[in-house]
């Protein structure tokens, strides 16, 4: 089905400045081809989020990334709109799912969660997995999601909150006093932002996820592969031997029989437009 079937969804007046987060866009664009190699957690969380998604007519995949969930999402809707801030991610997702476009209505849009290029009340449901932690103003992103949803529409998302990568934060403290790990919202702040939004809260749960690595270098490589360069700080390959040794030593207290633990605090949420 051609994209002409989506002509009544796109806001052609959305300003070009909507995509103005160059650092984030560039980081994820550069990681488009490598993303899957370091995205085991992203796949697990996304698959769990899919279980709470109802079938609808028109579905928005907000932060579609490399299009890993596109096939599963097309089974949940008649029309799918994939939005991402990183152009290369969209290109990769489209190429990856080219075969689906022969029998499914899919449209790809470059866009910012805080200023969506879609008209009001045009989407039945929104799916967004592990993307919202990257937005600058979450209240604005929620407001935009509310604007484009139809009455009764649901916004199901997962996001990372405070406590994520705390082991890496403590390990870096053995190297220097700089901030190498992103600051995430706390659970209480997230809950308050949701409470102050126009949405009705259906559910909000916190689920820790722990990933194990053989070494700090392996962890850093995964962070780089998924485009989280700002989270990983300096590339392990660019660090001096002394700094890397201190980082590794600082991480050792978190080693178990499974390896070096890396904790992600994942919030799962379902919101409904009244």
| Cα 251 versus chain centre, distance | 26
Decide: 261 and 210 in contact? Cβ < 8 Å.
yes
Domain chopping of the chain, boundaries: 3-163+183-210+266-273
Residue of 34 and 72 predicted with greater confidence: 72
Nearest by Cα to 115 from 62, 65, 159:
62
So what CATH class is 3-163+183-210+266-273? alpha beta
- What band does 1 get if pLDDT is binned at 50, 70 and 90? very low
pLDDT of residue 12: 58
pLDDT of residue 227: 60
Per-residue pLDDT, averaged over 86-113, amounts to: 85
Residue of 200 and 227 predicted with greater confidence: 200
Q: Is 166 helix (H, G, I), strand (E, B) or coil?
A: helix
Decide: 9 and 205 in contact? Cβ < 8 Å.
no
Give dist(CA 191, CA 94) in Å, integer. 34
* pLDDT for residue 235 is more than 60: no
């Amino acid at each position: 089905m051609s994209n002409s079937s989506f002509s009544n969804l796109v806001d052609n007046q959305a300003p070009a400045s909507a995509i103005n987060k160059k650092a984030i866009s560039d980081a994820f664009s550069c990681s488009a081809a490598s993303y899957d190699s370091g995205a085991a957690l992203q796949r697990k969380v996304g698959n769990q989020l899919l279980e709470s998604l109802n079938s609808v007519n028109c579905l928005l995949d907000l932060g579609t990334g490399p299009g890993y969930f596109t096939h599963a999402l097309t089974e949940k809707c008649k029309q799918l709109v994939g939005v991402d801030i990183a152009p290369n991610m969209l290109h990769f997702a489209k190429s990856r799912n080219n075969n689906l476009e022969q029998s499914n209505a899919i449209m790809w849009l470059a866009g910012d969660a805080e200023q969506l290029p879609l008209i009001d009340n045009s989407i039945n449901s929104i799916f967004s997995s592990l993307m919202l932690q990257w937005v600058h103003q979450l209240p604005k992103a929620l407001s935009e999601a509310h604007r484009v949803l139809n009455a009764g529409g649901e916004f199901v998302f997962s996001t990372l909150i405070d406590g994520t990568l705390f082991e890496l934060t403590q390990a870096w403290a053995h190297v220097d006093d700089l901030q190498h790990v992103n600051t995430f919202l706390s659970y209480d702040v997230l809950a308050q932002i949701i409470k102050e939004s126009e949405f009705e809260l259906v559910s909000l749960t916190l689920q820790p996820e722990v990933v194990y690595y053989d070494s700090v270098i392996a962890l850093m490589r995964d962070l780089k592969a998924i485009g989280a360069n700002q989270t990983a700080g300096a590339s392990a390959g660019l660090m001096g031997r002394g700094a890397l040794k201190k980082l590794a030593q600082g991480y050792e207290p978190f080693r178990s029989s499974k390896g070096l633990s890396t904790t992600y605090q994942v919030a799962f949420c379902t919101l409904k437009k009244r």
